[in-house]
Amino acid sequence: EVQLVESGGGLVQPGGSLRLSCAASGFTFSSYWMNWVRQAPGKGLEWVANIKQDGSEIYYVNSVKGRFTISRDNAKKSLYLQMNSLRGEDTAVYYCAGQVVVSATNWYFDLWGRGTLVTVSS
């Protein structure tokens, strides 16, 4: 069974740090671009960051640049998101998503985890 399972969410104070993990199983993790997508309570989807299969390319949404770091360990079939200097607006459910790439402009997210909730509050 194909699975992505996120963990590491919780309550953190503003300015604090948190590290999210996403464990993959049932598919060839090292063949996928991987992403983090978040959803604030009652709001829409926001792409956060992605990483190429070998980690050689990484991209972030502007609002998290310099604060968040995406990484992966293909041997452990795991994706990570290190989140520093957290703000209230980072409160969201964080999903990891696997990306199928057909071409540079033709790709889609066809694998999703169930998400982990991050709450930034004092």
Stretch that binds another protein, among 16-24, 69-77, 78-86, 97-105 (CB under 8 A): 97-105
Q: Which is nearer to another protein, 7 or 15 (CB)?
A: 7
Site string for another protein, 30-69 (x = CB under 8 A): -----x-x------xxxx--x--------x-x--------
CA-to-CA distance for 88 and 26, rounded, in angstroms? Answer: 35
Q: Which is nearer to another protein, 13 or 108 (CB)?
A: 108
In the complex, least distance from residue 50 CB atom to another protein, rounded to whole angstroms: 7
- Told to check if 23 binds another protein by CB under 8 A, we report no
Provide DSSP, the chain: --EEEEE--EEE-TT--EEEEEEEESS-GGGSEEEEEEE-TT--EEEEEEE-TTSS-EEE-GGGTTTEEEEEETTTTEEEEEE-S--GGG-EEEEEEEEEEEETTEEEEEEE---EEEEE--
Answer yes or no: are the C-beta atoms of 69 and 23 closer than 8 Å: no
- Told to check if 27 binds another protein by CB under 8 A, we report no
One residue of 86, 115, 116, 120 binding another protein per CB under 8 A: 115
Residues that bind another protein (CB under 8 A): 35, 37, 44-47, 50, 59, 61, 95, 97, 102, 105-110, 112-115
